[in-house]
């Protein structure tokens, strides 16, 4: 595990963007696993800037996103497809057909989960996975549980996750209660993982995840088992 301390959010975003762009420069056909949430926004902004300067080229890149709310269609501003289009894809030279987000509007959610896993396999898995962490230690929408869920699945969001994510919605009652999330196996099979953490509030859960017991009650703790994990964090104290 590589632990990189960033002095502020801008520094964190530039460091993460540097690592992602190095991946794309070295492997122009890279498969990037991407995340939503407030943490990666600065990383995407930096990558957009470098793409506009032609320092990094996304034309051959494929992306797979971690998760999507069930019941929100891509035109809904709170859907993760909308987030990705507006915060990243619409501003870079990526082929939109090569960007993938689970379909939260699928009639058969179980089928959609299977389709998503098959898709990840068919593109050869993920070269580099960008991750954030939830306040309760969730990664993607893999919530604390009694076992690690391996494959893409439908999840009931925990009250604390709904509470944390309500800031993006007008009303807490508008926050979907279900999501589709990539499973722990697909995340752990990524050849490299970059976890970004930008908040003092997440210091304790990050410490527990990286140095505490590996347990499904702290989903991010599984990342300790990954052989190529980079953690970039910005908190008042160093770990
Ligand atoms: C959501 C996403 C996660 C993300 C988490 C933290 O729950 N499903 O992938 O890591 O939010 O988000 P933020 O970066 O806004 O704290």
Residue 226: pLDDT band with limits 50, 70, 90: very high
Question: Residue 31 pLDDT more than 90?
Answer: yes
Separation of alpha carbons 123 and 125, rounded Å: 6
pLDDT at 149: 87
> Domain tally for the chain?
1
Task: Residue 12: give the domain boundaries.
Answer: 2-233
- Check pocket membership of 134 for ligand 1, CB cut-off 6 A: yes
Residue 78: pLDDT band with limits 50, 70, 90: very high
Q: Is 135 helix (H, G, I), strand (E, B) or coil?
A: coil
pLDDT at 132: 98
Tell me, yes or no, whether 239 lies in a domain.
no
Tell me, yes or no, whether 177 lies in a domain.
yes
Write 5-11 long-range contacts (CB < 8 A, 24+): 5/233, 5/234, 5/238, 5/239, 6/198, 6/232, 6/233, 6/234, 7/234, 8/234, 9/42, 9/198, 9/234, 10/42, 11/234
What does the chain come to in residues?
239
Separation of alpha carbons 113 and 116, rounded Å: 5
Burial of 159 (0-12, 13-18, 19+ CB in 10 A): exposed
Tell me, yes or no, whether 176 lies in a domain.
yes
Pocket test for ligand 1, best of 39, 79, 157 (most atoms within 8 A of CB): 39
Tell me, yes or no, whether 75 lies in a domain.
yes
Question: Residue 69 pLDDT more than 90?
Answer: yes
- Which tens digit of pLDDT belongs to each residue from 119-135? 999 999 999 999 999 99
pLDDT at 230: 98
CA 202 to centroid of ligand 1, rounded, Å: 11
Separation of alpha carbons 195 and 133, rounded Å: 8
pLDDT at 190: 98
Pocket test for ligand 1, best of 134, 178, 180 (most atoms within 8 A of CB): 134
Tell me, yes or no, whether 238 lies in a domain.
no
The whole-chain average pLDDT of the chain stands at 97
- Check pocket membership of 38 for ligand 1, CB cut-off 6 A: yes
pLDDT at 12: 98
Per annotation, catalytic residue among 65, 68, 103, 138: 138
Spell out where 53-190 has E strands: 62-65, 67-69, 99-100, 128-131, 153-156, 178-181
Residue 84: pLDDT band with limits 50, 70, 90: very high
- Check pocket membership of 104 for ligand 1, CB cut-off 6 A: no
Query: What is the mean predicted confidence (pLDDT) over 77-99?
Result: 98
CATH number, domain at 124?
3.40.50.1360
pLDDT at 40: 98
- Which tens digit of pLDDT belongs to each residue from 163-194? 999 999 999 999 999 999 999 999 999 999 99
Q: Which residues of 117-152 are buried (b: 16+ CB within 10 A; e: fewer)?
A: beebeebeebbbbbbbbbebbbbbbbbbeeebbeeb
What share of the chain has pLDDT > 70, as a percent? 100
Tell me, yes or no, whether 221 lies in a domain.
yes
23 dihedral zone (left: phi>0; alpha: psi -120 to 50; beta): alpha
Separation of alpha carbons 35 and 50, rounded Å: 19
């Amino acid at each position: 595990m590589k632990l990189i301390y960033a002095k502020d959010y801008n520094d964190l975003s530039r460091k993460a963007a540097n690592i992602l762009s190095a991946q794309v420069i070295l492997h122009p056909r890279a498969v990037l696993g991407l995340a939503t949430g407030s943490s990666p926004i600065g990383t995407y902004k930096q990558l957009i800037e470098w793409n506009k300067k032609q320092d990094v080229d996304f034309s051959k890149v494929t992306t797979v996103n971690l998760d999507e709310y069930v019941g929100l269609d891509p035109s809904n501003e709170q859907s993760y497809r909308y987030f990705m289009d507006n915060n990243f894809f619409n501003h870079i030279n990526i082929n939109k057909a090569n960007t993938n987000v689970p379909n939260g509007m699928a009639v058969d959610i179980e089928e959609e989960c299977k389709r998503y896993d098959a898709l990840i396999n068919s593109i050869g898995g993920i070269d580099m996975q960008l991750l954030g962490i939830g306040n309760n230690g969730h990664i993607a929408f893999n919530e604390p549980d009694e076992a690690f869920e391996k494959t893409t699945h439908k999840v009931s969001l925990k009250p604390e996750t709904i509470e944390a994510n309500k800031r993006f919605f007008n009303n807490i009652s508008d926050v979907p209660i279900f999501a589709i999330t990539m499973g722990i196996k697909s995340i752990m099979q990524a050849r490299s993982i970059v976890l970004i953490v930008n908040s003092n509030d997440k210091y304790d859960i990050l410490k527990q995840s990286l140095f505490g017991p590996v347990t499904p009650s702290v989903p991010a703790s599984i990342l300790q088992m990954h052989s190529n994990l980079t953690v970039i964090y910005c908190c008042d104290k160093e770990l």
